Structure 1
Amino acid sequence: MFNPSRDQVRDFFIDTWSKHQNKQILTPLESIALNWIQQHPEYHGVLENPESKSKDFSVDQGQVNPFLHLSMHLAIEEQISINSPPGIKDVFQALAASSSPHEAAHEIMECLGTVLWEAQRLGKPLDNNQYLELLRQRVKRH
């Protein structure tokens, strides 16, 4: 399993944006990342600023970590593409049908964030059953 460091993740997104702006060829993964970067113009300035690589983004100060946000988009896209956990593809399609693919991804992201936080807090692996239950609850609300 690939487990990049914080700096490697940040370099990946910064380099992807730079390559796009310089009209360089992107890898398939960079192309997927670029799609999400383009859908988040509020992060472009961060990706163009080399100092952002070392910046801490404080939730307590109402800041969103753009690198984490984009990483979660990539993770969710991968989950949907392989339908893992089983059923996530159907959840995504149901959520996207009542909003948009991007909003559906954000709905899923909230559920993923909840189970990731809980796993870290308890020092346990991610609970796929809880994740799927949270996702199903989102679909019921739509």
Structure 2
Amino acid sequence: MTPDRRAMRQPFLDAWQKFQQHLPLTPIELAVSDIIREHPEYHALFADPERALSQDWPPEHGETNPFLHLGLHLSIREMAQIDQPHGFKAAYLQRCERHGDRLAAEHAMMDCLAESLWQAQRRGAEPDGAALLDCLNNF
């Protein structure tokens, strides 16, 4: 495991541990712990930090990386909060209304966001906000 991967996963574990211990949380830790709380299927993983830090979830095995999944939730919520790209908040609220709950709406939006990030990485450029909104509006 690379130090970068460990460094990216550790804040999720720290936020969950602080939440479990009823310690004060920063705003980002509160957001992260809320998302983890909403995903009980990951609670056993977060109870075993060393496994969480070292385990791989290769997509070719049909496994979802919990940290990627939780990070996409966090990104979607932040993007909706700041309406970036412009129009994202409206798309988010429409999805929430259509699905009846924000978690289901976020799950429905993840493929578009992941595709947008993947395309940006392939191009070596910033994510295309217009393409993301098109995906969300046509999905």
Q: Is the TM-score greater than 0.5? A: yes
CA distance in 2, matches of 1:34, 1:79: 18
Segments of 5+ residues of structure 2 without an aligned counterpart are none
**Deviates further, 6-15 or 76-85:** 6-15
CA distance in 2, matches of 1:64, 1:57: 6
Deviation at 1:6, TM superposition (A): 2.2
Deviation at 1:56, TM superposition (A): 1.4
Deviation at 1:121, TM superposition (A): 2.7
Segments of 5+ residues of structure 1 without an aligned counterpart are none
1:30 aligns to what?
A: 29
1:92 aligns to what?
A: 92
- Percent identity over the alignment is 36
Q: After the TM superposition, which parts of structure 1 deviate over 3 Å for at least 4 consecutive aligned residues?
A: none
After the TM superposition, which residues 1-142 of structure 1 pair with which residues of structure 2 at under 5 Å, given as runs?
Answer: 5-49=4-48, 50-99=50-99, 100-138=101-139
TM-score scaled to structure 2, two decimals? Answer: 0.90
Secondary structure of 2:23's partner? coil
State the superposition RMSD in angstroms. Answer: 1.3
Q: How many residues align?
A: 134
CA distance in 2, matches of 1:44, 1:108: 23
